[in-house]
Chains A and B, each alone.
Chain A
């Protein structure tokens, strides 16, 4: 009991000191933190959005759309490949019904060549050894292409990665805010924006796919009223709500798309008052735009965003500079929003907000103040109670308590963990539960003394016998902390982290540290009788 090897003593002291030091950047007020070296200052506890204020959105991707887009892409690729084949392969209509793509070359002699070309359009999926499409010949006349689940999954994964990038560019174009955008599960993206004032704007910014297309307006507009468009054309609504459901017939073929865009910014029309969006194309897009505008001077074209027509101006003359201006009924804000959306790129898949939590900064500040106050009062009350109950051993318990608090804060700082509101409750609870270890030990020492053991023996037995119960009890807490972390979301995870850390540190301080202190006291004073 009394023999503590020197290395063990040093280890305990060093661990304690490291914990206290690590907690410092967190405890210091914000303005004092500025004087610390950056690496030290950065190692502090982050406040969760429920404390700091801010918004958290959970976006869900419509994954069936990915399959549809994959199918549409393949449709187009097959058409192009057959047209470009040398000699050209004539094919009939491509069917994409039931998630299977199939077509028939007009000349049966071309079937094998068409299969070869179609196969070349497919890709291997990672290291699975599978391809994203299975290509087969049926009835020796028809090429049938079926997307594989592996290929689709891979495609969804890629789309989600890409969507994540687009989302973070949209929210934080300059990359200066502490925005966190993470993938969750197979089809969700979590967005956390601290200190946000206007969650509505955030939602409308993310609600747009921002798929920009330029298409020629069909000279035959009869479809707008009859609802039946000619072959190669489609009927689209106008975006402007004042258009009152007006529709326009445009050609299906995309002249230029937003993918060829390199810059977009809000500007003003020549009159200097009407907000517009200036866009610039890359080389490829610029060339295409020049080509189309030259061939169609005097004709109308439609600027389409997410399947709705923003405006349908006329090509006054050929546009050779690769620059264009989108005008519609914009306000400065909506023009800005469109510019940011276009600049950040098209979302590969539409996103819906399925969960939103916003906390205003006042409520968060109030929670922190009250939480910290309650924590301090509770600690003082507990210290008072402990010293009253166990005298000198209560003081040791108190020391263990305070060190424990520092250690939890320190560990959280080192890991850069996030403190949430339930986390504060978890913290206070851990402090309360940490006392239990010492209560168990102290009570056991009392008992052993009552049984007539000598002081040193009583203390030794106290620690030894109590340790078993402490261990068993902590294992069960670890079990519930793990389950909470596994199944919980945001705030509950924060709680689980604090609880788990608290279990580790409280065993260290409650058992090891107090034992060192008690051993030191016994060695120095050799008391005949313990006051406990």
Chain B
């Protein structure tokens, strides 16, 4: 039996010919994402916005209007009640007083001060809601309860933002050190692209953006880089091998040579994540969806963001010729391995 070859031998697609089209597409998507995030906003989970979240399941179909009435009776006006995957389960969200945008909270520092007083009050409201629902609906089961004070949520938001930025900068630095500065810049742009599109995706779908999603975004960063590095590694190798080759042709050849690997690996991950998406726990649906998207976007950006930037930043093949002791570039045959 001959093994399956998803990419035929000697495939030679002129990927970079379409780089302007791809760039336009990317820029368009980025603008759309930024617009979505700023206009529609993210559906921040209680991890970041503070407040209470309860998942309650009932024996029969949940009576949402009755629940809403109950909550209003308790003086909880701004609660949202949403049916989750099944009709028998609802998610009740009670936000904190004031802004629910963690970024504003962080900037204003208001929630930290307010929460000192509000923690007790908010806790009492949550307790009252819980007791009341349990009384009126004896068959109700509390699947999960989360209650986060404004102080902690602002902190989580801050550390989350720091973690994301540090990861991006740290990784770009590493690439700069092991390749050339142009590659570091290319990788950083590819990362920005992926991260911004992920945010846009969350603004579009209004899936809850919680702490787990930060882990997903960090993983997307890791994976997207993984992909970028594999193509960069091949480019470096080819720069050394074919020193006279024109850059666009060289990049194209590198992308084509690694194409089979890119497709097999991406497909493996897409299979795994797809299965996780359909069969996995509901609680991590957003998490898995983010990663699924990240894989697709990350693969695209390695080819169409990370590679063209090298052309625009004018990478030359002699960047990769090792220098001898006198700082001069050693003379090497135009074609030959450097190990």
| Interface of A toward B, CB cutoff 8 Å | 50, 58, 60, 199-200, 203, 352-360, 362-363, 366-367, 370-371, 373-374, 377-378, 381-382, 385-386, 388-391, 394, 421-422, 424-426, 428-429, 431-433, 435-436, 439-440, 443, 446-447, 450, 465, 468-469, 472-473, 475-477, 479-481, 483-484, 486-489, 491-492, 495-496, 499, 531-532
Contacts and interface: CB of A to CB of B under 8 A. Distances in A.
Contacts of A432: 268-269, 271-273
Interface string B236-258: 01000000000000000000011
Secondary structure call for the A interface: helix
A424 B221 CA distance: 19
- Across the A-B interface, the 7 shortest Cβ-Cβ residue pairs: A363-B143, A487-B163, A367-B281, A469-B233, A432-B272, A374-B280, A374-B279
A492 B214 contact: yes
B144 A450 contact: no
Contacts of A447: 257
Nearest to B1: A391
Contacts of B288: 425
A357 B115 CA distance: 18
Given A476-B174, A480-B222, A360 B261 contact: no
Contact of A356 (B146, B160, B178, B283): B146
Given A389-B3, A472-B233, A532-B3, A443 B264 contact: yes
Contact of B229 (A367, A390, A428, A469): A469
A385 B266 CA distance: 12
Interface in B259-285: 260-261, 264-265, 267-269, 271-273, 275-276, 279-284
Given A362-B143, A385-B267, A499-B219, A440 B163 contact: no
A432 B292 CA distance: 12
Contacts of B211: 488-489, 491-492
16 contacts: A358-B146, A362-B143, A363-B143, A367-B281, A367-B284, A378-B276, A382-B271, A425-B276, A429-B269, A440-B265, A446-B260, A476-B171, A480-B171, A480-B218, A496-B215, A532-B3
Interface string B128-149: 0011000000000111111111
A370 B281 contact: yes
A468 B258 CA distance: 14
Contacts of B151: 60, 354
A433 B55 contact: no
A489 B156 contact: yes
Nearest to A394: B3
B2 interface: yes
Interface in B186-203: none
A445 B230 CA distance: 15
B120 interface: yes
Find the residue from A367, A373, A473, A480 having the highest chain B CB count within 10 A. A480
B159 A487 contact: yes
B218 A389 contact: no
A362 B130 CA distance: 18
A354 B6 CA distance: 53
Given A391-B1, A483-B166, A483-B218, 10 more contacts: A60-B151, A200-B130, A353-B123, A356-B148, A389-B6, A422-B212, A435-B265, A477-B225, A483-B163, A489-B211
Contacts of A443: 258, 260-261, 264
B162 interface: yes
B44 interface: no
B92 interface: no
A469 B175 CA distance: 12
A188 to B, nearest CB: 9
Given A374-B279, A480-B219, A488-B163, A357 B225 contact: no
A463 to B, nearest CB: 14
A439 B7 CA distance: 13
B225 A473 contact: yes
B142 A360 contact: yes
A366 B141 CA distance: 14
A445 to B, nearest CB: 11
Nearest to A391: B3
A371 B257 CA distance: 36
A233 B329 CA distance: 90
Contact of B145 (A199, A421, A450, A481): A199
B80 interface: no
A370 B260 CA distance: 32
B284 A422 contact: yes
A370 B280 contact: yes
Find the residue from A378, A386, A446, A475 having the highest chain B CB count within 10 A. A378
B143 to A, nearest CB: 4
Contacts of B159: 487-488
Secondary structure call for the B interface: helix
B294 to A, nearest CB: 11
Interface of B: 1-6, 9-10, 55, 57, 115, 119-120, 123, 127, 130-131, 141-149, 151-152, 156, 159-160, 162-163, 166-167, 170-171, 174-175, 178, 211-212, 214-215, 218-219, 221-223, 225-226, 229-230, 233-234, 237, 257-258, 260-261, 264-265, 267-269, 271-273, 275-276, 279-284, 287-288, 291
Contacts of B166: 483, 487
B272 A390 contact: no
A421 B281 contact: yes
Given A436-B265, A489-B211, A377 B141 contact: no
Nearest to B287: A425
B151 to A, nearest CB: 6
A359 B260 contact: no
A382 B131 CA distance: 47
A354 B163 contact: no
Nearest to B234: A469
A421 B171 contact: no
Contacts of A362: 57, 141, 143
A354 B119 contact: yes
B163 A486 contact: yes
A354 B279 contact: no
A353 B284 CA distance: 26
Contact of B218 (A388, A394, A484): A484
A431 B131 CA distance: 43
Contact of B119 (A352, A382, A389, A436): A352
A426 B287 CA distance: 10
Contacts of B275: 374, 377-378, 381
B260 A363 contact: no
B233 A468 contact: yes
Find the residue from A50, A58, A386, A488 having the highest chain B CB count within 10 A. A488
Contacts of A60: 151
B212 A360 contact: no
A370 B279 contact: yes
Contacts of A433: 223, 226, 269
Contact of A357 (B131, B145, B222, B223): B145
Contact of B147 (A353, A390, A475): A353
Contacts of A390: 3
Contact of B163 (A366, A429, A477, A484): A484
A425 B284 contact: yes
Given A370-B281, A492-B215, A483 B170 contact: yes
Nearest to A472: B229
